[in-house]
């Protein structure tokens, strides 16, 4: 356990210092870089998302994580801030995985099975004014199936700051937004002809107005996207649940920043 932690955390430190160019000699990490998404504004500004694919493996576990970085912004300081935050976001997840107790059950390792972590990201909006991505972390920790959790990153280039939901929704108005989300989730459930009171109760609990229930959101050109982990509002078999909300339907819940970013700028963004 100690050796595993030392090797992987040493690799993480090296990644932070050299931007995933060369892992420590004792590590089998193999980062490589690819360009994945590009956006061009009407003014000609080109914003590019590049990813470094981080791979690490030993006898206990494997890691395949995708680290996004942003290039092409006119403000170099803002670009550095975004990339520093993105690196910290992904590295924190890797470090948390590295610190989990090792698996000792020999049955778990039968057939070559290992603990594993995979992090994928999905650009929702890339523009010269807003960067918004959501991430899916898949962990195999020895259960009957791997589990998925979501997290996200949104940054207002206009304001030079990372965005949390509290930056967009007025204090005390989460309940108003939650009602809209719950109605949409229940509407989707009924549209699928699965009118189950137990499922409705599940939705009302998992989407109740608690900040932790709305931890994963992204800003898109088409509105505000919310992502719910498996088991939160639906069975694992139905996967991650995504709900798109028209910001005009929750305009009374938005604060001044939320109204400016979601109501006035939303139609002028490039979406991916």
DSSP E strands: which ranges in the chain? 32-40, 46-57, 61-71, 115-126, 130-140, 147-156, 161-162, 217-220, 223-228, 241-245
Q: How many angstroms from the chain centroid is the CA of residue 234?
A: 19
Most distant CA pair in the chain, distance: 59
The tokens describing 73, both together, are 């912004």
For residue 121, give every residue at least 6 positions away whose Cβ sits within 8 Å of its Cβ, in sequence order, or none.
51, 66, 68, 133, 134, 135, 136
8 Å CB contact between 64 and 52: no
For residue 258, give every residue at least 6 positions away whose Cβ sits within 8 Å of its Cβ, in sequence order, or none.
167, 168, 169, 170, 247
Strand ranges of the sheet holding 61-71, from the earlier edge strand across to the other edge:
32-40, 46-57, 61-71, 115-126, 130-140, 147-156, 161-162
The tokens describing 43, both together, are 């003014």
* pLDDT at position 178 over 90: yes
* pLDDT at position 28 over 80: no
Residue range 132-145, pLDDT digits in tens: 999 999 998 777 78
Query: Phi and psi for 211 in degrees, rounded to 5?
Result: -55, -40
Query: What is the reported pTM?
Result: 0.82
Average pLDDT over residues 42-63: 77
pLDDT at residue 198, as a whole number: 85
* pLDDT at position 184 over 60: yes
What average pLDDT is seen over the chain? Answer: 80
Average pLDDT over residues 66-91: 94
Residue that wins the pLDDT comparison between 192 and 271: 192
- 3-class secondary-structure state, position 107: coil
* pLDDT at position 30 over 90: no
> Which residue matches tokens 């990490």?
29
pLDDT at residue 40, as a whole number: 55
Q: Side-chain half-sphere of 109: how many Cα atoms within 13 Å?
A: 10
Average pLDDT over residues 251-270: 79
* pLDDT at position 11 over 50: no
Average pLDDT over residues 44-54: 79
Least confidently predicted of 50-54, 91-95, 99-103: 99-103
Q: Is 171 exposed, middle or buried (0-12, 13-18, 19+ CB in 10 A)?
A: exposed
> Band of the pLDDT at 4, cuts 50, 70, 90?
very low
* pLDDT at position 196 over 90: no
Average pLDDT over residues 176-189: 93
pLDDT at residue 44, as a whole number: 55
Highest-confidence segment of 31-40, 97-106, 109-118, 197-206: 197-206
DSSP character at residue 194: -
Distance CA 58, CA 10 (A): 14
Residue range 128-174, pLDDT digits in tens: 889 999 999 999 877 778 899 999 999 999 899 999 999 999 989 99
Residue range 197-230, pLDDT digits in tens: 788 899 999 999 999 999 999 999 889 999 999 9
The tokens describing 120, both together, are 């994928």
Neighbours of 188 (CB within 10 A): 15
DSSP E strands: which ranges in 29-110? 32-40, 46-57, 61-71
The tokens describing 247, both together, are 């910001």
Question: Beta 223-228 vs 217-220: how paired, if at all?
Answer: antiparallel
8 Å CB contact between 233 and 183: no
């Amino acid at each position: 356990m100690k050796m595993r932690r030392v090797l992987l955390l040493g690799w993480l430190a090296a990644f932070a210092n050299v931007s995933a160019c060369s892992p420590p000699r004792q590590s089998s990490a193999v980062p490589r870089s690819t360009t994945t998404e590009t956006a061009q504004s009407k003014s000609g500004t080109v914003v590019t998302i590049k990813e470094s694919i981080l791979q690490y493996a030993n006898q206990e576990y494997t890691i395949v994580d995708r680290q996004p970085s942003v290039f092409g912004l006119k403000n170099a300081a803002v670009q550095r801030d975004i990339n520093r935050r993105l690196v910290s976001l992904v590295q924190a997840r890797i470090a948390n995985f590295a610190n989990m107790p090792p698996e000792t059950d020999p049955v778990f390792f039968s057939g070559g099975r290992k603990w594993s972590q995979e992090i994928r990201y999905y650009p929702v909006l890339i523009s010269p004014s807003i960067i918004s991505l959501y991430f899916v972390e898949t962990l195999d920790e020895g259960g009957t199936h791997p589990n998925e959790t979501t997290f996200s990153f949104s940054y207002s280039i206009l304001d030079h700051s990372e965005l949390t939901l509290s930056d967009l929704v007025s204090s005390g108005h989460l309940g108003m937004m939650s009602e809209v989300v719950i109605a949409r989730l229940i509407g989707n459930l009924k549209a699928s002809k699965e009118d189950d009171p137990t499922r409705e109760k599940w939705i009302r609990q998992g989407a109740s107005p608690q900040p932790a229930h709305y931890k994963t959101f992204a800003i898109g050109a088409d509105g505000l996207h919310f992502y719910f982990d498996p088991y939160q509002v639906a069975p694992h078999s139905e996967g991650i649940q995504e709900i798109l909300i028209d910001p005009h339907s929750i305009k009374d819940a938005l604060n001044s920043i939320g109204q400016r970013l979601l109501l006035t700028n939303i139609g002028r963004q490039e979406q991916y």
